[in-house]
Structure 1
Amino acid sequence: MKALSLFFCLFLGSLGSSAQSTDNHLTVLGDASEEVPADQATLNVNLSYSDEKDITLVYEQHKTGRERLMALLTELRVPAKDIQLLQLMVRKERDFSMGGGGMGQPVEKFKGYQRIAIKFDDLKRYAQVQQRLASDGFIDLSSVFSVSNQREIELRLSDLAIAKAKEKAERMAKAISRTIKRVVRIGDIEETEAIGYVRANQNNIYMNSYTMDVNRPVSTIAQQFRLTTSVKVVFEMN
């Protein structure tokens, strides 16, 4: 019996922190991952205009730029429901650049900012619109890629992680001539146990953003995500 207990301790030690055992319970960590391509994108067009003296000129410049952008999107047949105009913000700033009165002599000016977000469910269509906007002078662009079926992937990976934990627990129980009776509890792994794991609920795990370089082809932007789910499962043994 001592030899059997020693064997079980060595078996647990070989698995590191992925399993813990009490007299009648066995705690096992399971994980699953999947490479998933992005299938959605949001293209952000950032409008910015300024004037040193007249704030009304800033509003007029924004109105002109916004109307030109909307006309171009209409020409490109982008549905209005996929376009979101964020609120225009205008404020007074100090310009410390060399052209603003010389080094150490800041010039105050009025500056306006507005973002227009365009959503796409087709990445080929996204690339076409992006390139057309850039060629027409809208070069302050940023993008966010995402995965549409996020919840479905989470559930599938969770089921797979639990199945792997059960398989591991059955091997360990068999090593000491016991069997798994039932699952007692399923939960996320603790932070102290998360080394080497990526939490399934980590913020923005399904999103990848970048600021556009007009000379950089969209095909060079990372659009692949490695999604990982980790769980802790407590089993009761017979």
Structure 2
Amino acid sequence: MRKLSFLVISLLSFFSATAQVAQTPDLPVNRIVVLGDAELELPADQVRVVVNLQYSDPTDAKKAYNAHQAAEKQLVTLLKDYQINEKDIRYTLLQVQKNQNDVYPTGERRQEIVTMQQVIFELNKPERYPALQLALINAGFNRFQATYHSTKEEQSKNLALEKAIEAAREKAVVMAKAAGRTLGTVLSVRDTEETDPVFQKRFGAGYSYGSALYASARAEGNLLDIPQTIRIPAQVKVTFELK
């Protein structure tokens, strides 16, 4: 009986090991795994602006809501003046909530009704951003930030991946030659998920506001004269056969 049990356990172990091997056909002994990196630089041709709307009233939710609605209409008019397309405008749902506010001289805590909402839009003429942010501030919209973007980011991600695979193959050829082997077919390609765009420079509302004050002095030179670029990195892990 003990011999039979041992035989059954041995057979189960054999089939288990065989199944594990069958599940990883892309991992032969004669293989080489290489990381390929690539990076594209695109000129920034767009500014993404996020405006935070927030209004409050100590007791009356309707007053806070009405102030918020009035601000929305004013912002829509401003965006039309700057010819922002509707397809380039997005916004979050309006939220109304009751908060505890303890920023009072006496130190006491009081409740207040607060409205919150974000409006996100793209400005396709970055050179107009200094004037736009001054207009936002003059209209009472002091809570906003902006980042540079490119309209070609998405299509450039695919190109960056292609170049990363090419870089991996070139590296693998050199490594295989140095080892006295030749490179075979590609067994697998994996995206390492490090392909999100990285922005070289970011401008918040405060910093950009300072730049805008000196926009009239461009002849003397300032940061606005320096072209902004966006980096699109890509990294892949490629497994090659070795012969």
CA contact (8 A) 2:50 2:146 kept: yes
Deviations 1:57-91 (A, max 9, x none): 11221222222222333333333443334332221
Structure 2 CA distance for partners of 1:83 and 1:232, relative to 1, 3 Å? closer
Deviations 1:165-217 (A, max 9, x none): 2222222222243322322222235xxxxxxxxx4345x64698664116432
CA contact (8 A) 1:39 1:121 kept: yes
Question: Partner residue of 2:231?
Answer: 226
Structure 1: tracts of 5 or more residues without a match: 1-20, 190-198
Q: 1:121 aligns with which of 107, 111, 124?
A: 124
Q: 1:217 aligns with which of 205, 211, 215?
A: 211
Question: Partner residue of 1:73?
Answer: 79
Q: Tell me, in whole angstroms, the C-alpha distance in 2 between the residues paired with 1:161 and 1:80.
A: 36
Structure 2: tracts of 5 or more residues without a match: 1-26, 213-222
Question: Partner residue of 1:86?
Answer: 92
Question: Partner residue of 1:166?
Answer: 169
State the 1:96 CA deviation: 0.7
Q: Tell me, in whole angstroms, the C-alpha distance in 1 between the residues paired with 2:166 and 2:241.
A: 15
State the 1:112 CA deviation: 1.4
Structure 2 CA distance for partners of 1:145 and 1:174, relative to 1, 3 Å? same
Structure 2 CA distance for partners of 1:85 and 1:157, relative to 1, 3 Å? closer
CA contact (8 A) 2:84 2:123 kept: no
The structure whose Rg is larger is 2
Structure 2 CA distance for partners of 1:141 and 1:222, relative to 1, 3 Å? farther
Query: Which structure carries more helix by proportion?
Result: 2
Q: Which amino acid aligns with 1:96?
A: D
Q: Tell me, in whole angstroms, the C-alpha distance in 2 between the residues paired with 1:85 and 1:172.
A: 51
Structure 2 CA distance for partners of 1:75 and 1:188, relative to 1, 3 Å? closer
Q: 2:33 aligns with which of 20, 27, 31?
A: 27
Q: Which amino acid aligns with 1:32?
A: A
Q: Is residue 2:57 matched to residue 1:51?
A: yes
Q: Tell me, in whole angstroms, the C-alpha distance in 1 between the residues paired with 2:209 and 2:175.
A: 56
CA contact (8 A) 1:94 1:108 kept: yes
Q: 2:146 aligns with which of 143, 148, 159?
A: 143
Structure 2 CA distance for partners of 1:51 and 1:207, relative to 1, 3 Å? farther
State the 1:225 CA deviation: 3.4
Q: Secondary structure at the match of 1:216?
A: helix
After TM superposition, list the pairs within 5 Å mapping 1:1-16 onto structure 2. none
| TM-score (norm. length: structure 2) | 0.70
Q: Tell me, in whole angstroms, the C-alpha distance in 1 between the residues paired with 2:36 and 2:71.
A: 53
CA contact (8 A) 2:39 2:234 kept: yes
Structure 2 CA distance for partners of 1:207 and 1:92, relative to 1, 3 Å? farther
Identity %: 28
